[in-house]
Amino acid sequence: MSLTDPIPEAIQRKLNTCLEADEELRLAIESDVDNDGRFNPRWLITTDRRVMTVDLNGGKSDIAISLKDIQKVHIHPLVGGGMLEVSTFSDTVPLISYTQSKTERFVEASRGIEQLVEEKPFQVRTKFAKTKCDSCGRRLPSKDALCPACVSKWDMFKRIATYMTNHTGKVLLMAGMFLITTLADLVPPKITQLLIDEAFPQKDTELLFWYVVALGSMMLIRWIAEMVYGWLSAWLGARVVADIRSEVYRHLELLSLGYHDKMKTGGLLSRVTSDTRNLRHFLVDGLPYLVLRWLMCIGVVTMLFYTNWLLTIYILLPVPIIIYWGAQLFKRLRVSYYRLWRRWEDFYNHIQETLSAIRVVKAFAQEPREVKRFQRNTQALFEIGYWTERKWIFYFSTMGLFTFLGFAIVWLVGGRQVLGEELTVGELMLFYFYLHMFYGPLRWLGRVNSWMTRAMSAAERIFEIMDTEPESYNDPKSIAMPNVRGDISFQDVTFGYEAALPVLKEVSLDIHAGEMVGLVGKSGAGKTTTINLICRFYDVNYGAVLLDGVDIRDIRLEDVRSHIGVVMQDPILFNGTIGENISYGNPDASFELVIAAARAANAHNFILGKPDGYDTVLGEKGTGLSGGEKQRVSIARAVLHDPSILILDEATSSVDAQTEKLLQEAIGRLTKGRTTIAIAHRLSTLRDASRLVVLDQGKLVEQGTHEELMKKHGHFHHLVQLQQMTSEIMVVN
């Protein structure tokens, strides 16, 4: 196995001259900057004997170090990238720098070099998320995302149109109504020509009557078709936007926690709301208008050519210029709409962030500051929106000039033909009316162009979500585990939220079924990360987490999480009744079971004290309950869920002594017969744990009972002493 980028000929020639015949190439990775941060492609080359760096522009900065001389490999995160270094017996050597887009590859390279140095089996990843487009080389908006510059507009258009296929009957009926409306618009100018050329010269009253009846019939038919079309459009628009939003939201719910950690809530909100609305405008308003107005233009041109081909050619001369100009404007405004969306994302983010933290804003009297931030965001929206609309106004105004040019040609050329008796007055009026019908749609095709631009930009952002790989809920290869004992095993687990910054480092830990284990360590030691891996909110980078001896990645995801109950430090409750919040993990539970769970959590008495008992409606995030009451409802929710594995994340850290006593009693009932992993701020609360596991800087440094660890006078003893000293200082003060 080897990890190699495509090697250019210049580098290959250097390798051919310096490598020995039997030397095996293991790593060949291209960097994009030198150690001074300047753009200068360099290569990291690793064989089974040495580590080298090779410069495309000369050999003065080339480095070669034998694997036997390397003691340790380091990855140092830097602003916008990082650096790979190796420590030898005498020095630390900076090997190669790289930008952020190369981080994953060089982190994997450092791991591969470590394996070679320690003479372990060489096993590295060879597949990574794409950060650049394979076609044009541009940076992608996010990993594995679509390239906005290379995405096929036709494919995007077809994908957008698929949202209409679920309602084919109504779409066809709507198109039929629009077609009838179009035909009803084409007939009256012809009738007007006949009135002028036949009824008036002949002074035929009966003919005049029937022509007027024909005009009235066309108007009646048009009115009926327009009404039916309007009703269908209203229904289809509401239905399509609901379908799109439901699909986007469903996919958002299935995406991993890692995805949500990296995305801003306001940005996701704008995709579900404004982006889906833009798609709706295009599908229901823009697309039918685009197709059927083009049909009208074709019909008008056909009638004009049939009437007088020479005059038709004259009035069509400005059309290629109009189409070309509209296409160029489309390209420019597409970028502007993307920028506008980014501004809207910031706008939504600010509103969501400020309103959700309104207590903090008021506590620090920062309302004027937040109002100013809001005004800055509004001003930014105004500037880019105004610039975009100016372009459209200029386009439409100039289109009016071209329209006047067409009418001038009709009156000048057509008028001369009338004077020369080559054209009748009725045919001239026919041209005049048809020219209105031709230039009108052609002018407003620019507005459809605007809808299309917005829709394409919105579709790219929506499909970016839809194309992101969700969590493996429906993996057919996953193993069903309806029942678990609760044995958990960490085997050489290394994990980091960022590849270059591992939070857990080669952690090995066995937790037996029914055992209560306390996780102890300073902030940032990796306690919460350990819990996240057990819940499979994230997958390990290296190593494995086993549940009952099976790799957790191979188990059906819903089975993993259905056997785990979590009581968090800050309990999250939903807008709904207290009873609904308790039964959240088990919606089909009877009311008797809900009460039993509340009794077990010492919550029943305070719930009965509420105005509506279990039917008391809570506000957002459980507004209406105290911190201790929220925590007891959270424990009741976990009791009713009846998990095999219980996770307590600082469950009693923010309550008073009396409430803590009630919570400890409830937790004591909850932990019986379950595998329990607990994190507690107060180390004394973990005295009843079967075993304590001490983490420090991502490594497991100690484990044992409370008494055993105190006797060792190690990390745990030091933490207890620090906490006691802090308590004594607080008491004195």
Q: pLDDT tens for residues 355-400?
A: 777 877 877 788 888 888 888 888 888 888 787 777 777 777 777 6
Distance CA 229, CA 458 (A): 26
Q: What is the mean pLDDT of residues 21-44?
A: 83
307-342 per-residue burial string, b: 16 or more CB within 10 A, e: under 16:
bbeebbeebeebbeebeeebeebbeebbebbbebbe
pLDDT in tens, 97-134: 888 878 888 888 888 888 888 888 888 877 777 777 77
pLDDT in tens, 165-194: 778 888 888 878 878 887 888 888 888 888
Of 261, 673, 157, nearest to 498 (Cα)?
261
Check residue 141 and give its pLDDT. 65
Check residue 731 and give its pLDDT. 47
Distance CA 733, CA 724 (A): 14
Residue 552: band (very low, low, confident or very high) from pLDDT cuts 50, 70, 90: very high
Q: Any bridge partners for residue 491, and if so which?
A: 544
CB 244 within 8 A of CB 163: yes
Q: Which of 72-81, 110-119, 544-553, 557-566 has the highest mean pLDDT?
A: 544-553
Q: What is the mean pLDDT of residues 403-411?
A: 75
Helix (H) or strand (E) holding 691: strand 691-696
Distance CA 26, CA 546 (A): 30
Check residue 656 and give its pLDDT. 61
User: In 3-state terms, what secondary structure has residue 647?
Assistant: strand
Q: Name the CATH architecture for the domain at 3-117.
A: Roll (2.30)
Residue 635: band (very low, low, confident or very high) from pLDDT cuts 50, 70, 90: confident
Check residue 161 and give its pLDDT. 75
Residue 143: band (very low, low, confident or very high) from pLDDT cuts 50, 70, 90: low
Residue 657: band (very low, low, confident or very high) from pLDDT cuts 50, 70, 90: low
The whole-model pTM stands at 0.73
C-alpha distances in angstroms, 271 versus 41, 243, 575? 38, 14, 23
Of 494, 499, 545, 551, nearest to 700 (Cα)?
494
Check residue 327 and give its pLDDT. 67
Answer whether CATH 1.10.340.70 is correct for domain 153-466. no
Q: What is the mean pLDDT of the chain?
A: 81
pLDDT in tens, 6-28: 888 888 888 888 888 888 888 98
Q: Kindly list the domain boundaries of the chain, sorted by start residue.
A: 3-117, 153-466, 488-732
CATH number (2.60.260.20, 3.40.50.300, 3.40.50.2000, 3.30.930.10) of 488-732 reads 3.40.50.300
Helix, strand and coil in the chain, % to nearest 5 = 60, 15, 25
Is the confidence at residue 434, as pLDDT, over 70?
yes
Is the confidence at residue 639, as pLDDT, over 50?
yes
Distance CA 130, CA 270 (A): 25
From 185-189, 261-265, 328-332, 576-580, the region with the lowest mean pLDDT = 328-332
CB 151 within 8 A of CB 135: no
From 241-250, 428-437, 536-545, the region with the lowest mean pLDDT = 428-437
Check residue 544 and give its pLDDT. 93
Please identify which residue in the block is written with the tokens 């394409």: 456
CB 189 within 8 A of CB 196: no
Long-range contacts of 31-37, Cβ-Cβ distance < 8 Å, separation of 24 or more: 31/96, 31/97, 31/98, 31/99, 31/102, 31/106, 32/98, 32/99, 32/101, 32/102, 33/81, 33/97, 33/98, 33/99, 34/61, 34/97, 35/61, 35/83, 35/94, 35/96, 35/97, 37/97
Is the confidence at residue 491, as pLDDT, over 60?
yes
Q: By percentage, how much of the chain surpasses pLDDT 90? A: 6
CB 99 within 8 A of CB 92: no
Q: What is the mean pLDDT of residues 538-561?
A: 90
Pairing of strands 39-47, 50-55: antiparallel
pLDDT in tens, 451-479: 676 777 777 778 878 877 788 777 788 88
Is the confidence at residue 314, as pLDDT, over 70?
yes
